[in-house]
């Protein structure tokens, strides 16, 4: 190592005291050589025999805001840097470029259009191409600007479809499955009116979900967001008033619509209701488990509400049981939405808890279905500004303080953000604040941030794509986020990119 680099870190050599309590295999050269040999064997098998059967089923897992840094930190949160979250064991990995047509840094709306519809649009718009500016009351009505989603392709091919999310089911990411709108915030009619647009001409996202073709055909819809389905004069099951102005009860509409089709449909609003269902006797399932977003995963136990709200993995398992009853195959979209929302609040511990639960849901799905006929894709819509720094010891808690103090004599956290509300924990009028280890144990602790913002921003870096199953090898390399649905469609031989369409042989 050049002397100049060694000198840069000389203070760590003098202040850090590292002792090995027990010798482990990692201290030997043989351990690392054998580990490399195992990886080489795995890669050789993958290259020689990639699965090229048509995918009967496609499961797309979307960790909202799940940056590469988030995955790395989750490994450490689970116990050690050498660990792997479930989907890191998938045989193929790539990177997708997440920018929007009009923005270097994506939001969850334009990115949903890309990874579900194969077309990049403008920031804040869903299911429409870049001819639609955000908030434009008229451009989004032009069907020629609409983008079909892979859920629509799957339905056209006779496959069953569904979505699961820990956000409102009308939020930006799940809305990419079924909606077309110039503004992601138009989740109910009141929000359209607040934008000075007509709620009669512009159909809100909740109505699109229950009234328009793609949404109506979804066999499973689970997440939060009851308030967007009921009028302001109506309280939901836990006493929260609705947000609609038009007098509609869209939950009741969904129920009556399914009765008119003479299908076996169930609406549930809590975990008890979900667990009481006979899923083998359920054709359609609507589960709305919160007035707004579902709780952070760690809060389910901390707030004693795990008996009321199902976890992401529980919702995923129920959805897969409903969708897999028939032999026609299915497409399921699963979003771990609260990973992103915790990052926005610079509550890193909560984000890692939700990422760990997200990985559990992926592992559950992979074990339920064969790699021979089920393609599973795990990716993110965008990154965040959280970083890992400070030369921490291997056995240090990733959510704690760095091993050494900074040049101002004060400690700092291993995890930190480029911006966000954590700024208030970082500085006061006298300068940088002193952070204690006890503070970082609190799940609501807001990690240090450089720039003061009420909400931390997304990051613009590429995000990971992990693939397992038929045609998973397609997902290697670096590519546009909008390529993802094309590759999924090719694997299942559906939609615009099926072989019969003349594009790919």
Q: Which residues does the annotation place in the binding site for Zn(2+)? A: 64, 340, 381-382, 458
Q: How far apart are CA 59 and CA 379, in angstroms?
A: 11
**For 379, phi and psi rounded to 5 degrees?**
-155, -170
Annotated binding-site residues read: 64, 171, 173, 335, 340, 344, 381-382, 458
Here the tokens at position 497 are: 């990119």
Helices 312-323 and 348-368 cross at an angle (nearest 10°) of 30
Q: How far apart are CA 272 and CA 287, in angstroms?
A: 11
Helix (H), strand (E) at residue 224: strand 220-224
DSSP 161: E
Contacts of 211 (CB under 8 A, 6+ apart): 203, 253
Q: How far apart are the first and last CA of the chain?
A: 51
Q: How far apart are CA 334 and CA 483, in angstroms?
A: 19
Which of 67, 96, 108, 290 is an active site residue? 108
- Closest to 114 (Cα-Cα) out of 489, 494, 495, 483: 483
- Closest to 217 (Cα-Cα) out of 155, 285, 302, 169: 155
DSSP H stretches of helix in 96-160: 108-117, 150-156
Q: How far apart are CA 375 and CA 490, in angstroms?
A: 11
Annotated binding-site residues for Mg(2+) read: 64, 171, 173, 335, 344
Helices 68-77 and 348-368 cross at an angle (nearest 10°) of 90
DSSP H stretches of helix in 226-311: 250-260, 271-275, 297-302
> What torsion, rounded to 10 degrees, do the Cα atoms 472, 478, 483, 485 define?
40
Residue 291 among the catalytic residues: no
Active site residues: 108
């Amino acid at each position: 190592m050049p002397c100049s680099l060694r000198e840069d870190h000389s203070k760590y050599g003098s202040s850090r005291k590292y002792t090995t309590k027990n010798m482990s295999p990692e201290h030997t050269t043989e351990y690392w050589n054998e580990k490399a040999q195992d990886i080489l064997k795995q890669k050789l098998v993958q290259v020689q025999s990639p699965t090229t059967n048509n995918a009967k089923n496609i499961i797309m897992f979307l960790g909202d805001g799940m940056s590469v840094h988030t995955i790395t930190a989750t490994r450490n949160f689970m116990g050690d840097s050498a660990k792997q979250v479930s989907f890191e064991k998938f045989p193929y990995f790539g990177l997708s470029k997440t920018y929007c047509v009009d923005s270097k840094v994506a939001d969850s709306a334009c990115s949903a259009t890309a990874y579900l519809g194969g077309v990049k649009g403008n920031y804040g718009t869903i299911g429409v191409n870049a001819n639609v500016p955000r908030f434009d009351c008229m451009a989004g009505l032009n069907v020629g600007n609409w983008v079909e989603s892979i859920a629509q392709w799957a339905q056209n091919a006779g496959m069953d479809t569904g979505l699961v999310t820990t956000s409102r089911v009308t939020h930006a990411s799940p809305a990419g499955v079924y909606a077309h709108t110039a503004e992601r915030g138009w989740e109910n009619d009141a929000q359209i009116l607040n934008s000075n647009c007509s709620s009669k001409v512009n159909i809100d996202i909740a109505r699109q979900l229950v009234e328009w073709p793609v949404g109506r055909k979804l066999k499973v819809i689970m997440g939060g967001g009851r308030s967007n389905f009921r009028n302001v004069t109506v309280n939901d099951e836990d006493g929260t008033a609705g947000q609609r102005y038009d007098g509609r009860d869209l939950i009741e509409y969904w129920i009556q619509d399914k009765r008119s089709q003479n299908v076996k449909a169930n609406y549930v609003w809590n975990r008890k209701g979900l667990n009481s269902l006979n899923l083998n006797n359920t054709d359609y399932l609507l589960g709305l488990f919160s007035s707004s977003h579902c709780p952070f995963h760690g809060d389910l136990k901390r707030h004693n509400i795990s008996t009321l709200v199902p976890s992401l993995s529980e919702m995923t398992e129920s959805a897969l049981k409903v969708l897999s009853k028939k032999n026609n195959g299915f497409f399921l979209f699963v979003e771990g939405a609260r990973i992103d929302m915790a990052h926005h609040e610079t509550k890193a511990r909560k984000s890692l808890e939700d990422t760990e639960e997200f990985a559990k849901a992926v592992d559950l799905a992979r074990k339920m279905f064969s790699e021979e006929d089920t393609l599973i894709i795990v990716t993110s819509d965008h990154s965040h500004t959280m970083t890992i720094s400070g030369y921490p010891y291997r056995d240090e808690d990733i959510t704690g303080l760095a091993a050494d103090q900074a040049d101002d004599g004060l400690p700092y956290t291993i995890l930190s953000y480029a911006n966000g509300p954590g700024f208030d924990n970082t500085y006061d009028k006298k300068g940088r604040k002193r952070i204690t280890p006890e503070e970082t144990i609190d799940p609501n602790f807001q990690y240090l941030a450089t720039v003061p913002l009420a909400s931390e921003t997304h990051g613009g870096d590429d995000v990971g794509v992990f693939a397992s199953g038929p045609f998973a090898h397609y997902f290697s390399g670096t590519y546009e986020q909008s390529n993802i649905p094309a590759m999924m469609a090719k694997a299942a031989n559906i939609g615009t990119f099926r072989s019969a369409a003349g594009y790919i042989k």
